[in-house]
Structure 1
Amino acid sequence: VYHYAEPDKGELYQPFEVLPIATASFSDKVVIFADGNPKQIPVTVKAHADNLEGEIQLCHSEGWRVDDETKPFSISNKGDEQTIFFSLTPPEKEDESYMSPIVKINGKEITQELVTIAYDHIPTQKVLLPSEAKVVRLNIQKVGEHIGYIKGAGDEVPKSLEQIGYIVHIIDPNDISAGGLAKYDAIVLGIRAYNVVEELKFKQQFLFDYVKEGGNLIIQYNTAGRWNEQFENIAPYPLTLSRDRVTDENSEVQILASEHPVMNFPNRISLADFEGWEQERGLYFPSEWSKEFTPILSMKDSGEAAKKGSLLVAPYGKGNYIYTGLSFFRELPVGVSGAYKLFANMLSLGQNVDNNQTQVKR
């Protein structure tokens, strides 16, 4: 054990480590392919000894193709890293599988990555885990390109949307002004945005005006009872949040509005799209809403009453207001295909097929 001291932390201990001579890791643990085009896959090799030379192979499932199965690497110093890029092409049909690297040095094969766990309140720990990443081929359609995103308490939804081809613009709430939002095909508020972004209480009317003039506004879940009085009306119509949630990710889902555009355009959504969800269905669903809202789905945990507030859609002026407590912030980063298709439909609501463009609307 290595024992040392730092002025601000006192005595510290670093355990003796037994590591392979190299490890390899992916920067992205999930890679989404929205079409048949190849993507560059970076694999980082880290040396745990000096003067390493070898090869790295990218293993993948049948139907996936790489430009070169094996590529060389050379690292001079212990602790240094080298990133090697593979061009990975997906199959034509939808598919979910995993890829993994094999580091080959002097006849040895290494398939592990090194994960460092470092927090001030516990000793630093290093763990060797199998190195792998999920790859998902989606046959997904979308309308619109430019999405405005107002961050909430923190999530990976913007990065997930970029993986399927959207151009995501992070909006500073301080910059929201009259007419300034019209250039976006849709605007999304991150999880708990109304709970944590104080400035939104001054900008709510601008968001409603955006919808009224033809915009598409998507509000992800907020925590009931934790906002100021200014946010009692977070929707253009009466809407009451609750603590309703569905914790069983495999719970039965019923489609209440099968003919609604959000379930049909540009992707037809079926019950199969609710398979493979992780951790939960959703949380903090509204319990009451006005007649202007259409409840799209019904779901429940075992032994409980059905919850119909997970996805609510209401027309407002020329546009649409959507409130959802579905856990997209969990499902998109782990590559759940059905969640991607449903979110793409939400972003496309009210738009036409001629709306795809390469520049922000002026």
Structure 2
Amino acid sequence: MGYIEGAGDFIPDFLRIAGIQVDVLKDEDFYGNIDESAGNGSQSKLSQYDAIVLGVRANNTEKKLGRWMPFLWSYVKKGGNLVMQYNTNQDTTVDKLGIYNFSIANKRVTEENAAVTFLNPDHKLLNFPNKITPDDFKGWVQERGAYFPAQWDAAYEPLFEMHDTDEEPLQGSTLYAKYGKGNFIYTPLAFFRQLPAGNVGAARLFFNFLSAQKN
């Protein structure tokens, strides 16, 4: 898989420990080895990846992201799998983060044991390669997630609903959309905390996200 680093992100190390080959993407990976026969800026370097993941706050820290996004959309359209972790609205590199529009808000679930409702238990992201159940949300640390989208295009399907005590239900913790032949997943769930902490349930869910194009 390919990885675009964010801020203070240890997920690539975790994935390597899990036996996944992780390439941290640089400028030359987007502009080099362009496959002219594919057209529309598609390149062979990106097409080799089963998934490409954007690290936490990549849109706030990676100033080249604006140049890279058209290549990432092309990658998804031709059958790629793009997983984007949380971003904030401060010091952004690109104005439009998603393939379809969504707006980030300061919405969060700070209770790590907050109940999680599955909006579509039959969704492929919750069933392959791991069957995800409420047990996979046990033992999370510090929080469920932050900076959930508040509004999104109808092309997105939200996967979960959760909320802090006495707060409004939130459905923006994970949004999924098909685009062309590929998949786009936006998830502000706190994987950057859970995976280094060794949370098995969070790892099972994250591996499902990485495997979206395999099912």
**TM-score of the aligned structures, taking structure 1 as reference length:** 0.55
Secondary structure class of the residue paired with 1:176: helix
Shift of 1:174: 5.0
Residue of structure 2 equivalent to 1:217: 82
Are 1:258 and 2:121 an aligned pair? yes
Partner of 1:65: none
Query: Which one-letter code corresponds to 2:121 in the other structure?
Result: S
Structure holding more helix per residue = 2
Counterpart among 206, 222, 228 of residue 71 in structure 2: 206
| Distance in 2, Cα, partners of 1:173 & 1:259 | 38
User: How many Å separate the matches in 1 of 2:129 and 2:171?
Assistant: 23
Distance 2:163 2:100 in 1: 25
Q: Any conservation in 1 of the 2:14–2:196 contact (CA below 8 Å)?
A: yes
Structure 2: which amino acid aligns with 1:205?
A: P
Q: How many percent of aligned residue pairs carry the same amino acid?
A: 46
**RCO comparison, higher one (Cα < 8 Å, 6+):** 2
The structure richer in strand per residue is 1
Amino acid at match of 1:226: D
Contact 1:174 1:199 in 2 (8 A): no
| Equivalent residue number for residue 64 of structure 1 | none
Shift of 1:206: 0.3
Q: Which residue of 2 aligns with 1:176?
A: 30
Residue type of the partner of 1:251? A
4+ runs deviating over 4 angstroms: none
Corresponding residue for residue 154 of structure 1: 8
Q: Which residue of 2 aligns with 1:271?
A: 134
SS of residue in 1 equivalent to 2:213: coil
| Residue of structure 2 in register with 1:286 after alignment | 149
| Structure 2 letter corresponding to 1:241 | I
Return the match for 1:346 from 197, 200, 209.
209
Q: 1:48-85 deviations in whole A, cap 9, x for unaligned?
A: xxxxxxxxxxxxxxxxxxxxxxxxxxxxxxxxxxxxxx
Aligned counterparts of 2:90 and 2:153: Cα–Cα separation in 1 = 19
State the number of aligned residues: 204
Question: So what's the TM-score if we normalise by structure 2?
Answer: 0.92
Query: Could you say which residue in structure 2 is the equivalent of 1:356?
Result: none
Counterpart code for 2:153: S
Two-structure CA RMSD over aligned residues (Å): 1.1
- Report if the CA contact (8 A) 1:277-1:336 is conserved: yes
TM-superposed CA distance for 1:328, in Å, is 0.3
Deviation at 1:173, TM superposition (A): 3.8
CA distance in 1, matches of 2:139, 2:103: 30
Query: How much has 1:175 moved relative to structure 2?
Result: 3.3
Q: Verify: 1:301 aligned to 2:164, yes or no.
A: yes
- Post-superposition offset of 1:270: 0.2
**Deviation string for 1:268-295 (max 9, x for gaps)?**
0000000000000001111111111010
Which stretches in structure 1 are left out of the alignment for 5+ residues? 1-146, 353-362
The match for 1:167 is 21
Distance 2:80 2:20 in 1: 17
Q: Is the 8 A contact 2:176 2:186 kept in 1?
A: yes
SS of residue in 1 equivalent to 2:184: strand
Deviations 1:249-285 (A, max 9, x none): 0111111111100000010000000000000000111
Aligned with 2:136: secondary structure? helix
- Check conservation: 1:150, 1:173, Cα contact below 8 A: no
